[in-house]
Amino acid sequence: MPWADIIGQPIAVRQLQNALKQNRVGHAYLFFGPPGVGKRTAARVWAQALNCQQGVAGDACGECRSCRNILTGNHPDVWEVPLTGAHIRISQIREVTRQAQFPPTEGCWKVFLIHNAEAMTLEAANNLLKTLEEPPGETLFVLTTPSIFNLLPTIQSRCQQVRFQPLAVRDIAEFLVRQNLAGPAQAELIANLAEGSLLTAQELLTMERGAVREEVIDLLTKLKTAAGPQVLILTEGWTEGPRLKILLPWLALWFRDLLVWQNTGDVKLLINQDRLELIKEQAQIWPRPERFLRIIQEAKRKMERNANNQLLLEVLLLELTSMRRT
Ligand SMILES: [Zn+2]
């Protein structure tokens, strides 16, 4: 059943299923939550459930013609507004509001999915607002966005809000294994780094295939002895946004393992269990990993605020070398 495809969002799913079961479907919904946690998939399943020809209580069969057409984007009553550039333009929303005036032709509901709704221009948002204020008959709007605060308060208040949570590490790991994207050990490692997002997990997996962890280990091995200008040379190849974005969580995970090893000596608690010898060795070199973990967190925040990556990484690595046991 399609709702079963949505992982780790029991509250959101129940909210939507109940609306359908109790015949209390509204005209406008706002799905909000971090990227990569299932908002878009849930919006499609919701459209399927509303129009399923099998009429399974609150769910979609996933197999009837309607369900299949919605999945492939070929249902005449389900519209997805594409984000082609930086903005959703007024011409796109005008087309939506025009189409909304016609009743559904095949299904029970005419459904408009507006992903990244925060990308609507002010004119587009105001145009949509008029339709949300007086929605025609069997018309449903689903807006998705990472943060409701990026939308006009008037739009927020017209929509029923459905919150999507960051996913649990276990849910991400199980998904990766189930989809044959990773073996159990690798899935566990990636899930720990993904910060609750399947999207991030998949990005990490792509980079992991490029053996990023081995590169990070290589970097740390060189840092054991590097000093001054040598440290600065080691930043080479890591300062581009996507590379740095992946380096920081890998470093954090590594130092987390050093900390765990120093405090417990229990190999089962390590994430990089397969590199035990190196962890033992490095746990001697860096006696205070918790300090470095705090520095990494700070660097991540700075990176999100668009700090100079080169400078950020130079400072980070120099701080790391200054914490070596001498
Ligand atoms: Zn169906």
| ipTM over the 0.95 cut-off | yes
Instruction: Give me ligand 1 centre to Cα 17, in Å.
Output: 15
- Domain positions in the chain are 2-163, 168-207, 211-322
* Statement: residue 211 has pLDDT above 80: no
Q: In the predicted model, what is the mean pLDDT of residues 26-35?
A: 95
Instruction: Give me ligand 1 centre to Cα 68, in Å.
Output: 7
Instruction: Give me ligand 1 centre to Cα 79, in Å.
Output: 17
Instruction: Give me ligand 1 centre to Cα 41, in Å.
Output: 15
Let me know if 33 is exposed, middle or buried by CB neighbors in 10 A (0-12, 13-18, 19+): buried
Instruction: Give me ligand 1 centre to Cα 73, in Å.
Output: 14
Pick 211-322's CATH classification: 3.30.70, 1.20.272, 1.10.10, 1.10.260: 1.20.272
Per-residue pLDDT at 5: 84
Beta bridge partners of 222: none
Instruction: Give me ligand 1 centre to Cα 305, in Å.
Output: 45
The string over 125-139, giving b where at least 16 C-beta atoms fall within 10 Å of a residue's C-beta and e elsewhere, is bebbbebbeeeeebb
d(CA 192, CA 269): 13
Instruction: Give me ligand 1 centre to Cα 210, in Å.
Output: 40
Which amino acid, 145? T
Location of structure tokens 């890591």 = 238
* Statement: residue 137 has pLDDT above 90: no
Where does 146-195 show beta strands of DSSP type E?
160-163
Instruction: Give me ligand 1 centre to Cα 269, in Å.
Output: 45
- By DSSP bridging, strand 139-145 and strand 110-114 are parallel
Instruction: Give me ligand 1 centre to Cα 132, in Å.
Output: 27
d(CA 30, CA 147): 10
Instruction: Give me ligand 1 centre to Cα 231, in Å.
Output: 59
| Alpha carbon 170 to its chain's center | 15
C-alpha closest to that of 133 among 248, 28, 288, 239: 28
d(CA 260, CA 253): 10
Which amino acid, 134? E
Q: Model confidence at 119, in pLDDT bands (50, 70, 90)?
A: very high
| Residues that place a CB less than 5 A from ion ligand 1 | 52, 54, 60-61, 64, 67
Contact 223, 234 (CB under 8 A): yes
d(CA 282, CA 276): 10
Q: What is the per-residue pLDDT across 39-83, written as a single tens digit (0 to 9) for each? A: 999 999 999 999 999 877 778 999 999 999 999 999 999 999 988
* Statement: residue 209 has pLDDT above 80: no
CATH topology of domain 2-163: Rossmann fold (3.40.50)
Instruction: Give me ligand 1 centre to Cα 8, in Å.
Output: 23
Instruction: Give me ligand 1 centre to Cα 74, in Å.
Output: 14
